[in-house]
Chain A
């Protein structure tokens, strides 16, 4: 789980962007075959999760004693059936809903909250900066896996609790990056000029700062998604994330552990899904980073 940590080391740097920047990024990204493949995989996962009820799948909650632990390739259960005889294909697709939701939303929340805090700290500076950044330092003192498990462990299982604990984990690193890039931008000449012309702080932030700092923060945030997803599934795997009988990959991995002696392939499926998704998220984030010319 230590992958979290490497990603958490802020590394982005800001630079004012030239015109036509975004079309250039998209062009470069489209040319990156690996990133595009990953983008398609993730888009498919999200689409199938969103539209799961209309895909004609079996009921992911309804089990059958007869169908218990049917192997992959069984008629009527293409990917087999789980320990309660529930269709694995349906559970995996419906499971994508919760897994992706809990895996991605904390990063989204942390992106907004952390950016706001970091931009405020970086732009205003002084005491505001000190207070915000020292609090961030405290949370940085916890290895992120530990922090997530500690908060979730104390709060107990549940979707909301997982979202809360993971958001708390990811706010500090985003804040640090946001603070760093904002401080960098703040000292640039044209911002000085804007301020000298008498524009209010909020106006300067809105017009000049946000546009310049959001893209590096965004790229950084995308690099957190795979970590967040592995961590979210890990919480469920430990039994302090999503509660049964909800389909969620980490939880499915946990409940299918006993079946590993009956059918290891079946039991491994949810883990494969987590692996594949997180791999795609990482590759996509890498692709995005190089397309945006943000240094490694």
Chain B
């Protein structure tokens, strides 16, 4: 510990001498991203949640946006380019959306219902002139409900879904609306649009060097006066290597980094850097195989495993930057409900359950688990999984790991538990978005989405669960829908359908001069309120 302190104070001393760094123009915020490249700029972004955060909800709007204004409650949907949306009580597949009037794209053209149709064609209609395979690859799978759409008038849009689906608004929150006039002006060439894109968002892309940097400047005419940015400029810099990111922040080359390595956090705080974090809909679990021969079919084993993990202890690994799981969704989620089963640390109870299930110190259970040494959003997968391995061993469960690279892991995640490529693994450690009813709950356990048709990796299929999913989709009253979602989540937890471990808290480290940031409980963030105090 002594040595550690010494290092810290040495660092503090040295950082004090760092004043000589060239200060940029006032009000410029330089952000080190974890992505290896600038996310796709043409509208529908790539690079996962980070892409939407920095290049989606900044330059663009969705018809229905996420509310990013509060740090205290889980964020909800709010009007974006659509001001209201309703379904026809007679025919629940028919949705009418009133679009915001007087909105202009950055290129000056007007936003109309035709633009939305044009944007949906861009993603869904392969023989349309504006079809863009790259944006389509990112956006198409996000709006599975949509069957057809048309512009009723300049500011009214009609969408018809394949079957009644109350989750459509959540799906639409994925879709970024880019400017048709801009695309036409740039010879209908998405390549050129990438260099000077045009959306309706609070930020405009001003300059863009692939793989190196992107510069965003405020859109003073943004339709929501509350969200007109205070800063002069945001500079986005891809810094995929965690140490390069830390070094860049500590040496004053950027003002803000995403996901600082946990081990560097004490050094940063010691030097006056601010660590911002908050709950957000992220999940770190093991998905369990429910194939016939899987030991995880026994609810006692599932519960025992959940009770064997000291989640607080795991926090040490992550510098405390985690939220121990209390269920499948993060605690505080509006859909959490009141599950009876509490996945806390209780080794005795775990051992009792294992004994009941027929296991013991001399009759240990062996399981095979798929993990990856890295991957986006995976936190620190190796040490965390090794910690779980040690914990489960106490409850007489011996874990053998199958370690594969992240890209291969994605393939195995798509392939499902039955595929020969998983080599009989009975669980997979995968992390993801749980932002809406579909990504949060339905896709993991829906009978129709059993891998490889979807991401129900473990081949789970249960009538009761399936009818809950139906009910979510057909409950159009938002408050009632929340209740259904709560019942669904209660079943998730009470049946211990996953090894529920932890939630990330999206840590970001920033220089003390960065003021006014409100970290929403969301994958996306609002940068409009931020200022730089020199």
Q: Report the nearest B residue to A260, measured CB to CB.
A: B243
Q: Given A69-B263, A263-B7, are A157 and B386 also a contact pair (CB < 8 Å)?
A: no
Q: When the two chains form their complex, are residues B3 and A258 in contact, meaning their CB atoms are under 8 A apart?
A: no
Residue A83 CB within 8 A of the other chain: yes
Asked whether A63 is an interface residue with its Cβ less than 8 Å from the other chain, the reply is: yes
A259 and B263 alpha carbons, distance in the complex (Å): 6
Taking a contact as CB atoms closer than 8 A, the residue among B2, B263, B316, B317 that contacts A262 in the complex is: B263
**A186 interface contact, C-beta 8 A:** no
- The 8 Å CB contact of B382, one of A69, A84, A156, A258, is A84
Interface positions of B from 291 to 327, Cβ below 8 Å from A: 313-314, 316-317
Q: How many residues of B contact A (CB 8 A)?
A: 26
Chain A residues contacting B11 (CB-CB under 8 Å) are 261
Q: Which residues of A contact B403 (CB under 8 A)?
A: 243-245
* Complex alpha-carbon distance, A245 and B403, angstroms: 9
Expressed in whole angstroms, the Cα–Cα distance for A72 and B263 within the complex equals 17
Q: Given the known A-B contacts A68-B316, A71-B3, A243-B373, are A262 and B383 also in contact in the complex, defined by CB atoms under 8 Å? A: no
Taken residue by residue from 1 to 26, chain B's Cβ proximity to chain A (1 for < 8 Å, 0 otherwise) reads as: 01110010001000000000000000
| Chain A residues closer than 8 Å to B387, beta-carbon distance | 65
- Minimum distance in angstroms from B410 CB to a CB of chain A: 14
Q: Which residue of chain A lies nearest to B268 when distances are taken between CB atoms in the complex?
A: A261
| Binary interface encoding of chain A residues 36-72 relative to chain B, with 1 for a CB under 8 A from any of its CBs, else 0 | 0000000000000000000000000001010011011
Contact B242 A63 (CB under 8 A): no
Whether the Cβ atoms of B246 and A258 lie closer than 8 Å is yes
Kindly state the separation between the CA atoms of A259 and B319 in the bound complex, as whole angstroms.
13
Contacts of B4 in A (CB 8 A): 69, 71, 262-263
In the complex the two chains form, what is the Cα distance from A173 to B356 in whole Å?
Answer: 66
- Chain B, residue nearest A266 (CB): B3
Q: Are B264 and A244 in contact (CB under 8 A)?
A: no
Q: Which residues of A contact B382 (CB under 8 A)?
A: 84, 244-245
Complex interface: chain B residues within 8 A of A259 (CB): 263
A261 contacts B383, C-beta separation under 8 Å: no
Say if the beta carbon of B99 comes within 8 Å of chain A.
no
Known contacts A63-B383, A84-B382, A84-B383; is-contact A261 B263 (Cβ 8 Å): yes
A24 to chain B: which residues have CB within 8 Å?
A: none
Checking A71, A83, A157, A260 against B383 with a beta-carbon cut-off of 8 angstroms, the contacting residue is A83
Per the bound structure, the CA–CA distance linking A244 and B382 in Å amounts to 8
- Cα distance A72–B7 in the bound complex, in angstroms: 13
B264-A263 in contact (CB<8A):
no
Complex CA distance for A156 and B7, rounded to whole angstroms: 37
User: Are B405 and A257 in contact, CB atoms less than 8 angstroms apart?
Assistant: no
Asked if B313 and A83 sit within 8 Å, CB to CB, the answer is no
Q: Please tell me if B261 contacts chain A, counting CB pairs below 8 Å.
A: yes
Interface residues of A: mostly helix, strand, loop or mixed?
loop
Complex CA–CA separation, A260 to B242 (angstroms): 12
B272 close to chain A: CB less than 8 A: no
Whether a CB of chain A sits under 8 angstroms from the CB of B347 is no
Q: List residues 208-264 of chain A with CB under 8 A from any CB of chain B.
A: 243-245, 257-264
CB-CB contacts below 8 Å: B377-409 with A:
382-383, 386-387, 403, 405
In the assembly, what is the distance between CA of A63 and CA of B382, in Å? 11
Interface pair A157/B405, CB less than 8 Å apart: yes
Nearest-CB residue, chain B, relative to A69 = B263
**Quick check: A258 and B263 within 8 Å, CB to CB?**
yes
In the assembled complex, the CB of B7 is this many whole angstroms from the nearest CB of chain A, namely 6
> Smallest Cβ distance from B188 to chain A, in angstroms?
36
B317 touches A65 (CB 8 A): yes
Residue of B nearest to A259 (CB): B263
Residues B39-90 near A (CB distance < 8 A): none
For the complex, give the distance between the alpha carbons of A156 and B3 in Å: 38
| C-alpha spacing A65/B390, complex, angstroms | 11
What does the 1/0 interface line of A61-90 toward B look like (CB < 8 Å)? 001010011011000000000011000000
Closest A residue to B381 by CB, please name it.
A244
Tell which of A63, A65, A262 touches B267, judged by Cβ atoms closer than 8 Å. Answer: A262
**A263: contacting residue among B3, B313, B383, CB under 8 A:** B3
Closest to B262 in A: A258
A230 to B166, CA, bound (A): 59
CA distance A68 to B266 in the complex (A): 14
Are B383 and A258 neighbours in the complex by a CB distance under 8 Å? no
Q: Scan residues 238-258 of chain B and give those whose CB is less than 8 A from a CB of chain A.
A: 242-243, 246, 250
Bound-state Cα–Cα, A202 to B508, Å: 69
Q: In the assembled complex, which residues on chain B have CB atoms less than 8 Å from the CB atom of A84?
A: 382-383, 386
Which residues of chain A have C-beta atoms less than 8 A from B405's C-beta? 156-157
A69-B4, A71-B2 known, 10 other contacts, Cβ within 8 Å: A65-B314, A65-B387, A68-B316, A84-B382, A84-B386, A258-B264, A259-B263, A260-B243, A261-B7, A261-B267
Q: List 19 A-B contacts (CB under 8 A).
A: A63-B383, A63-B386, A65-B313, A65-B317, A72-B3, A83-B263, A84-B386, A157-B405, A243-B403, A244-B373, A244-B403, A245-B382, A245-B386, A257-B242, A258-B262, A261-B7, A262-B7, A263-B4, A264-B7
Which 6 pairs of residues, A with B, have the shortest CB-CB distance? A71-B3, A258-B261, A261-B267, A257-B243, A258-B263, A261-B264
Binding site for B on A (CB under 8 A): 63, 65, 68-69, 71-72, 83-84, 156-157, 243-245, 257-264
